């Protein structure tokens, strides 16, 4: 199956993934201008009314950029909607996405037919994130256009599956748009995701260490200084298993090697988990590749260089 037109001919097969609290219009705009799909969670706009201003800023800035650069237009942008029942802003935020005809909606934590139908109503594309093949089938049955396979080692809420297993199982029955998420932070890994059968690499943690990211300086520096040994997988902080920086757990006075179990009933994405994410810093395992804090454009340029070099090394042109 061909990719939807909006996802065809991107300069790089990369989606900058949504990061709770951290993604903001400046980061999204720089990602898109650099040639990767930029995204942010709708919930990052607080209060909710701010989403209107943010969507206006992104839409107008990218339209002006495309007018000035018709030969090298920006990549499209995406908004992430948490469709879990604890998100009491969903209706409000979806109405604003309809107003601005947001080209791509990324849905997380549940699959909803009404949300998918609404996005299709304004000509948008829905990508839904999943951690196993069962959820993948359910998402497509409910009308999502594409999937984001969140494998082991991803930042934030992550699965436990090897990317090889997950992509292979999904590709047995699904030939639509498929992104791979989890520990991708080099151009070589982007090419590997494609070789495995994915269309796109979905990259989160690497963008935390960018100048535009709305993260504390100490958080950015901890990403730079850490590697996969410093990532702890726990369900304590939101009720759902995710990957976090060991140093931030220690700084909060807890022993990362002896964390109690969390409770899924405490899961709350309408704002309740914001405090946890402010103090306990999420990150995937791929951050060994992150050596400095740079503008998002510079990070994308590095990924592009490495991706092209990997293609040449494998004689792929």
Interface with ligand FMN, residue 182, by CB under 6 A = yes
**Contact with ligand FMN (CB under 6 A): which of 35, 197, 262, 282?**
282
CB of residue 257 to ligand FMN, shortest distance in Å: 21
Structure tokens at 186: 């080099």
Q: Does 205 bind ligand FMN (CB under 6 A)?
A: yes
Q: Which of 201, 76, 84 is nearest to 148 (CA)?
A: 201
Distance CA 213, CA 21 (A): 9
Which of 163, 197, 239, 286 lies at the binding interface for ligand FMN (CB under 6 A)?
286
Contact residues for 311 (Cβ-Cβ < 8 A; gap 6+): 191, 317
- Sequence length of the chain is 317
List Cβ neighbours of 15 (8 Å cut-off, separation of 6 or more): 36, 37, 39, 78, 127, 148, 179, 200, 201, 202, 203
Residue whose CB is less far from ligand FMN, 13 or 41: 41
List Cβ neighbours of 198 (8 Å cut-off, separation of 6 or more): 149, 167, 178, 179, 180
What residues contact 263, with CB distance under 8 A and at least 6 apart?
239
Query: Which two tokens mark 111?
Result: 């699959």
Looking at the Cβ atoms of 120 and 278, the one nearer to ligand FMN is 278
User: Between 93 and 132, how does the x/- string for binding to ligand FMN read (CB under 6 A)?
Assistant: ---------------x--------------------x---
Does 87 contact ligand FMN by CB under 6 A?
no
Q: Which is nearer to ligand FMN, 247 or 286 (CB)?
A: 286
Asked if 87 and 43 touch (Cβ cutoff 8 Å), the reply is: yes
Distance between CA atoms of residues 266 and 263, nearest Å: 6
**For the window 149-178, what string marks contact with ligand FMN as x by the rule CB under 6 A?**
-x---xxx----------------------
Instruction: Give CA–CA dist 108/117, Å, rounded.
Output: 16
Part of the chain binding ligand FMN (CB under 6 A), chosen from 62-70, 164-172, 198-206, 255-263 = 198-206
Question: 């969507």: which residue's tokens?
Answer: 55
Residue with smaller CB distance to ligand FMN, 80 or 235: 80
Question: With respect to ligand FMN, which residue has the nearer C-beta, 73 or 199?
Answer: 199
x/- binding map, residues 2-41, to ligand FMN, per CB under 6 A? Answer: ---------------xxxx-x------------------x
Smallest distance from ligand FMN to CB 71, Å: 30
Whichever of 183 and 235 has its CB closer to ligand FMN, that residue is: 183
Residues 6 or more apart whose Cβ sits within 8 Å of residue 282: 19, 20, 155, 156, 205, 242, 243, 244, 245
The interface region with ligand FMN, picked from 86-94, 147-155, 246-254, 292-300 by CB under 6 A, is 147-155
| Interacting residues with ligand FMN (CB under 6 A) | 17-20, 22, 41, 80, 108, 129, 150, 154-156, 181-184, 202-205, 282-284, 286
């Amino acid at each position: 199956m061909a990719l939807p037109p909006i996802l065809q001919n991107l300069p790089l097969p990369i989606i900058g993934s949504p990061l709770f609290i951290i993604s903001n219009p400046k980061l999204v705009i720089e990602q898109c201008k650099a040639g990767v799909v930029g995204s942010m969670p709708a919930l990052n706009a607080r209060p909710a009314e701010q989403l209107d201003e943010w969507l206006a800023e992104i839409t107008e800035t990218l339209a002006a950029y495309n007018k000035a650069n018709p030969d090298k237009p920006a990549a499209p942008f995406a908004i992430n909607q948490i469709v879990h029942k604890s998100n009491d802003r969903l209706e409000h935020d979806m109405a604003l996405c309809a107003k601005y005809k947001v080209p791509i909606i990324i849905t997380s934590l549940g699959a909803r037919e009404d949300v998918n139908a609404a996005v299709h109503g304004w000509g948008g594309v829905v990508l839904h994130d999943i951690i196993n093949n069962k959820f993948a089938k359910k998402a497509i049955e409910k009308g999502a256009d594409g999937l984001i396979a969140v494998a082991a080692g991803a930042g934030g809420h992550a699965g436990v599956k090897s990317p090889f297993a997950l992509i292979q199982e999904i590709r047995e029955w699904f030939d639509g748009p498929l992104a791979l998420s989890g520990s991708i932070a080099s151009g070589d890994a982007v090419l590997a995701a494609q070789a495995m059968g994915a269309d796109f690499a979905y990259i989160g943690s690497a963008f935390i260490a960018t100048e535009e990211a709305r993260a504390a300086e100490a958080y950015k520096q901890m990403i730079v200084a850490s590697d996969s040994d410093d990532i702890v997988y726990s369900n304590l902080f939101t009720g759902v298993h995710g990957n976090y920086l060991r140093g931030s757990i220690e700084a909060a006075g807890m022993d990362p090697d002896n964390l109690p179990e969390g409770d899924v009933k405490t899961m709350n994405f309408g704002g309740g988990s914001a405090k946890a994410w402010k103090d306990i810093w999420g990150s995937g395992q791929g951050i060994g590749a992150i050596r400095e804090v740079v503008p998002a454009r510079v990070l994308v340029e590095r990924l592009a260089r490495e991706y092209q070099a990997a293609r040449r090394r494998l004689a792929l042109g």
